[in-house]
Amino acid sequence: MDTQSAQEVIQFPCESCGGPMLFDADSQRMKCQYCGRLQEIATDASIPREHELDDGKEDEDTDWGMSQQTVKCGSCGGESLIPARQTATLCPFCGSAKVLPQPDTANIKPESLIPFRIDRDDATAAFRAWKKKLWFLPSSFKRENTSARLAGIYIPYWTYDAGTSSSYSAERGDYHYRTVTKTRVVNGKTETYTEQQRYTVWHWVSGEYDRFFNDVLVPASGQYDAKLLERLGDFELNGLLGYKPEYLSGYIAERYSIGRGRGWEEAKARIDDALRGDIRSEIGGDEVRSLKIDTGYSDQTYKHLLLPAWNANYTYKSKPYRFMVNGQTGLVSGKAPRSAWKITFFVLACLAVVAALVLWYASSQQAPPLE
- Binding residues for Zn ion, rule: CB under 5 A, are 14, 16-17, 19, 32, 34-35, 37, 73, 75-76, 78, 91, 93-94, 96
CB 250 within 8 A of CB 262: no
Minimum distance from residue 156 beta carbon to Zn ion (Å): 16
Instruction: Annotate 42-81 with b (16+ C-beta within 10 A) or e (fewer).
Output: eeeeeebebbebeeeeeeeeeebeeebbbbbbeebebbbb
DSSP tag of 187: T
Nearer to Zn ion, 32 or 331 (CB): 32
What residues form DSSP beta bridges with 190? 185
Q: How far is the CB of 73 from Zn ion (least distance, A)?
A: 3
Least distance CB 17 / Zn ion (angstroms): 3
Residue 15 vs 195, nearer CB to Zn ion:
15
Q: Which residue's CB is nearer to Zn ion, number 73 or number 240?
A: 73
Based on CB atoms, which residue is closest to Zn ion, 18 or 261?
18
Alpha-carbon distances of 153 from 82, 107, 117, 178, rounded to whole Å: 11, 16, 13, 64
**Would you say how long the chain is, in residues?**
371
Q: How far is the CB of 247 from Zn ion (least distance, A)?
A: 19
Smallest distance, Å, CB 12 to Zn ion? 11
Contacts of 124-127 spanning 24+ positions with Cβ under 8 A: 124/150, 126/325, 126/330, 126/331, 126/332, 127/312, 127/323, 127/325, 127/332
75 or 301: CB nearest Zn ion: 75
Q: What minimum distance in Å lies between the beta carbon of 258 and Zn ion?
A: 18
Of residues 221 and 329, the one with the C-beta less far from Zn ion:
221
Output the CA torsion 324→327→332→335 (10° steps). Answer: 0
